[in-house]
Amino acid sequence: MYRSMNLKGFLAILGVMVLLFLVLHAVLRGAVNNKAEEEKLLRIQKTRLEEENKDLSNRLDVVGTEAYIMSSAVKDYAYVRQDAIRFEFTNPEALYAYTDEELQILMDEMNN
Tens digit of each residue's pLDDT (9 = 90 or more) over 38-81: 999 999 999 999 999 999 999 888 887 888 877 777 777 677 77
Task: Please say whether the beta carbons of 86 and 92 come within 8 A.
Answer: no
Helix (H) or strand (E) segment spanning residue 48: helix 7-63
Number of domains in the chain: 1
Tell me the average pLDDT across 23-42.
96
| Position 86 in a domain | no
The better pLDDT of the pair 20, 94 is held by: 20
Residue 2: which pLDDT band, with cuts at 50, 70 and 90? Answer: low
Domain with 21 in it? 7-81
Q: What are the backbone angles phi and psi of residue 38, rounded to the nearest 5°?
A: -65, -40
Please tell me the predicted confidence (pLDDT) of residue 86: 67
CA nearest to 66, candidates 95, 93, 88: 88
Please tell me the predicted confidence (pLDDT) of residue 30: 96
| Position 94 in a domain | no
| Position 53 in a domain | yes
Q: Is 5 left (phi over 0), alpha (psi -120 to 50) or beta?
A: beta
| Position 88 in a domain | no
| Position 54 in a domain | yes
Tell me the average pLDDT across 15-22.
97
Spatial distance between the Cα atoms of 34 and 22, rounded to a whole number of angstroms:
18
| Position 111 in a domain | no
Looking at residue 65, its amino acid is T
Looking at residue 107, its amino acid is M
